[in-house]
Amino acid sequence: MITIADTDLVVHPLCLGSNIFGSNANEAESHAVMDAYFNLGGNFIDTADMYNQWVEGHIGGESETIIGSWMKARNNRQSMVIATKVSKMDTRPGLSAKNIFAACEESLNRLQTDYIDLYYSHEDDASVSLEETLGAYSQLIAEGKVRYIAASNFTPARLRESIKFSNDNNLPAYVAVQELYNLVDRTTYEGEMQQVVAELGISNLPFYGIARGFLTGKYRPGITEVDSKRAAGAREYANDKNYAVLAAMDVIAKEHNASLAAIALAWLRSNPTVSAPIASARTVGQLEEIIQVVELSPDEVQTLTSIS
């Protein structure tokens, strides 16, 4: 277990993503995945109010609802660390105080809980003052409805500005970011955002940790059919350079008797600015691939870093 910097949140090194709960995975399948995760020591689930409004006939909130029904049925809320997000739901856009308060209540209802452990600003909203947004979070924390706040899809400059404003005005500050980062997609995070995260002493909980499934190794040259609803997204990474990354991962995975997904997530954890990477699973078999925690040697980390 690890502790997220600047918090007392003690979490499993794999944060279970839930954007597919209610879409690629139905309620029963989602509950089975969460059962397996919990039984293997997992306690950290990431969701958002807007998951999964992109599915025809959905309005958002479906993932939260499924997580809420699971926690109620298992009576395990106190054992879980739940992260959700506000600002990108079609019917609850932005970071005004009014919207944050309303969205938070709706998320609490769907999750069937009275508090959120980690509440993200899912994207920045420059139309609202930092005073209003952070003041709203301060009120929710004072009321016990939110424990900590974090940011996703912010620019490095805006993240720095937001945290400075919090510190200067005695308001709660973002304790983490959630940014796209994986072994074959490094440019978004490495550079200025990573530098700011390190300077501020917070951490990144990266999403797409296994590159939409590409880093599981199921997508190889000449393989055309893969049993995954995410196949199209994974194939965006299909090129010679990334196939070379898979080949290097094959060797390391064999050394550790581990899945390729576990190696990809271990590489992320080797970065001192990363805490718990996020990955999702549609089936229990997929969950078992991503939950294995491996520690890579410095040489193995360097090999993967150089090739990618």
pLDDT tens per residue across span 253-264: 999 999 999 999
Annotation marks residue 51 as catalytic = yes
The residue to which tokens 């807007």 are assigned:
50
Catalytic residue among 37, 51, 119, 219: 51
pLDDT at 225 over 70: no
Q: Judge whether residue 26 has pLDDT over 70.
A: yes
Mean pLDDT for the stretch of residues 58-67: 96
Q: What is the pLDDT of residues 266-290, one digit of tens each?
A: 999 999 999 999 999 999 999 999 9
pTM of the complete model: 0.95
User: What is the percent of the chain where pLDDT is above 90?
Assistant: 94
Q: What are the Cα distances from residue 164, in Å, to 32, 199, 256, 272?
A: 42, 12, 43, 22
Lowest average pLDDT, out of 110-114, 197-201, 223-227, 268-272, goes to 223-227
Q: Mean per-residue pLDDT for 96-101?
A: 98
pLDDT of residue 223: 63
Burial (Cβ within 10 Å: 0-12, 13-18, ≥19) of residue 15: buried
Task: Please give the pLDDT value at position 234.
Answer: 75
Mean of pLDDT over the chain: 95
Residue ranges of domains in the chain, CATH in brackets: 2-178 (3.20.20.100)
Which pair of structure tokens corresponds to residue 242? 């990334």
Confidence (pLDDT) at 230: 62
How far is it, in rounded angstroms, from Cα 307 to Cα 163? 35
Whether the per-residue pLDDT at 224 is higher than 70: the answer is no
Residue 174 has pLDDT above 70, yes or no: yes
Does pLDDT of 226 surpass 70?
A: no
Rounded-to-integer distance, Cα 64 and Cα 50, Å: 9
Residue with tokens 């969205």: 103
How would you list the strands of the sheet with 116-121, edge to edge?
203-204, 174-178, 146-152, 116-121, 81-86, 44-46, 15-17, 278-280
The stretch 135-142 carries a mean pLDDT of 98
- pLDDT score of 278: 97
